[in-house]
């Protein structure tokens, strides 16, 4: 009998092995490549290939991936019809959860061999981005746009959502966030997808579980929650006043802290530098004063550091994206990490089933219903 250990929230528990990413205090790497190196020298399509196939693509492999993405990108009309029927006040993460599940009935990939699963993952990359873009067009009473040939995945997503080709800065920054969000070993949503894989269920079910898990503000939903927090302030002074009250009331500040990183999130450092440049370029440095008015006391007094969601929310905001799109963009990226973990679990599986510690009533006898009070 294996020795049972109890750790609330599985904190500090190694629940499995992975070759996909290493999340350490000193570094984050995807399949041995440091995140700073990837951020500087690759695109999201290259990172997707790295996660799904185990290595960065050659030029030929990259164009094959891009060709496959282009082939599967157009949404089935049935999916667009469903998007039209979902009430306009439904949050985008709920739209994604139900629409990806529905889109699974039109999955163009047959089979469940590893290469079939990789092709299904590429299809899920395309359909998640397509659903987000189409929904935001419909919310503006515009018709969904057909894909425009020749655009990168990031540029295509923005083009189909906004209706015009994005500028180089917006494309590069969205692509950077997709790289940073793509994978993070056994985070809650990825672990959820691995649990689904461990029962030998299907990849679409696993991704729907991932979407539902990521939505929570303690996880991926933090990028929207952090921006909604910042958006309430019209000055750094207002933000300073608010953070004091938050300390007094012991409120959780969204976009800060991390279950693993205790000295800062490597991704936040990378993105924050880009965010400061973007704010300068757009003459929006007031936002950085507000941003720092929350960050500085959290870091200097509480030693609680920004995670990736804190700079990401404001980055998307300065790019003019609607706040309800932020966590869905996280999905459009993390779907690659989720699928890579689904495949890894499926290829070397053991059912994931932890124990629990019972703290309920002691054993007791059933009384006839007439005697129950």
Q: Which residues are catalytic?
A: 219, 258, 309
- Does residue 254 interact with ligand SDX by CB under 6 A? yes
Q: Pick from 222, 325, 331, 346: which binds ligand SDX (CB under 6 A)?
A: 222
Tell me the closest approach of the beta carbon of residue 307 to ligand SDX, in angstroms: 4
Secondary structure, 3-state, 238-304: HHHHHHHHHHHCCCCCCCECCCCCCCCCHHHHHHHHHHHHHHHHCCCHHHHHHHHHHHHHHHHHHCC
Q: Pick from 29, 42, 66, 187: which binds ligand SDX (CB under 6 A)?
A: 187
Q: Pick from 309, 318, 328, 340: which binds ligand SDX (CB under 6 A)?
A: 309
Distance, CA of 279 to CA of 298 (rounded, Å): 21
Q: Which residue is nearest to ligand SDX (CB)?
A: 257
- Would you mind telling me the total number of residues written for the chain in this entry? 373
Q: Which residue, 159 or 233, is less far from ligand SDX as judged by CB?
A: 233
Q: Pick from 13, 90, 200, 218: which binds ligand SDX (CB under 6 A)?
A: 218
Of 183, 158, 180, nearest to 169 by C-alpha is: 158
Q: Which residue, 20 or 155, is less far from ligand SDX as judged by CB?
A: 20
**Phi, psi for 352 (deg, rounded to 5):** -90, 110
Tokens of 205: 């079910």
Q: Which residue, 49 or 184, is less far from ligand SDX as judged by CB?
A: 184
Helix (H) or strand (E) holding 34: strand 33-34
Q: Which residue, 57 or 220, is less far from ligand SDX as judged by CB?
A: 220
Site string for ligand SDX, 279-308 (x = CB under 6 A): -------------------------x--x-
Q: Which residue, 13 or 200, is less far from ligand SDX as judged by CB?
A: 13
CB 203 within 8 A of CB 344: no
Tell me the closest approach of the beta carbon of residue 82 to ligand SDX, in angstroms: 28
- 9-46 residues labelled b (16+ CB within 10 A) or e (exposed): eeeeeeebebebbebeeeebbbbebebeebbeebbbbb
Interface with ligand SDX (CB under 6 A): 9, 184, 187, 218-220, 222, 252-259, 304, 307, 309
């Amino acid at each position: 009998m294996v020795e049972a250990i109890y750790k609330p929230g599985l904190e500090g528990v190694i629940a499995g092995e992975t070759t996909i990413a290493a999340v350490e205090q000193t570094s984050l790497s995807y399949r041995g490549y440091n995140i700073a190196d990837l951020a500087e020298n690759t695109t999201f399509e290259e990172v997707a290939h790295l996660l799904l196939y185990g290595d960065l693509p050659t030029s030929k492999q990259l164009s094959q991936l891009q060709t496959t993405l282009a082939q599967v990108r157009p949404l089935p009309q049935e999916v667009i019809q469903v998007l039209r029927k979902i009430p306009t006040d439904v949050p985008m993460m709920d739209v994604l959860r139900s629409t990806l599940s529905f889109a699974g009935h039109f999955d163009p990939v047959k089979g469940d061999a590893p290469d079939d699963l990789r092709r299904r993952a590429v299809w899920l990359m395309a359909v998640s981005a397509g659903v987000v873009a189409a929904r935001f067009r419909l919310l503006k009473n515009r018709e969904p746009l057909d894909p425009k040939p020749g655009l990168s995945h990031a540029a295509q997503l923005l083009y189909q959502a906004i209706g015009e080709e994005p500028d180089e800065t917006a494309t590069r920054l969205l692509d950077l966030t997709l790289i940073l969000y793509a994978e993070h070993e056994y985070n809650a949503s990825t672990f959820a997808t691995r649990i689904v894989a461990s029962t030998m269920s299907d990849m679409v079910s696993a991704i729907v579980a991932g979407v539902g898990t990521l939505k929570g503000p303690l996880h991926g939903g933090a990028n929207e929650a952090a921006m909604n927090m910042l958006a309430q302030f019209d000055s750094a002074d207002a933000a300073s006043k608010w953070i004091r009250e938050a300390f007094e009331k012991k409120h959780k500040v969204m976009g800060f802290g991390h279950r693993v990183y205790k000295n800062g999130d490597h991704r936040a450092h990378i993105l924050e530098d880009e965010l400061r440049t973007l704010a300068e370029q757009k003459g929006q440095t007031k936002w950085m004063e507000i941003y720092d008015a929350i960050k500085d006391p959290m870091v200097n007094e509480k030693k609680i550091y920004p995670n990736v969601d804190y700079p990401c929310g404001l980055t998307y905001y300065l790019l003019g994206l609607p706040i309800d799109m932020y966590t869905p963009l996280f999905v459009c990226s993390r779907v690659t990490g989720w699928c890579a973990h689904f495949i890894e679990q499926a290829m070397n599986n053991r059912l994931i089933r932890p124990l629990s510690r019972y703290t309920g009533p002691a054993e007791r006898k059933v009384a006839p219903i007439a005697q129950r009070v």
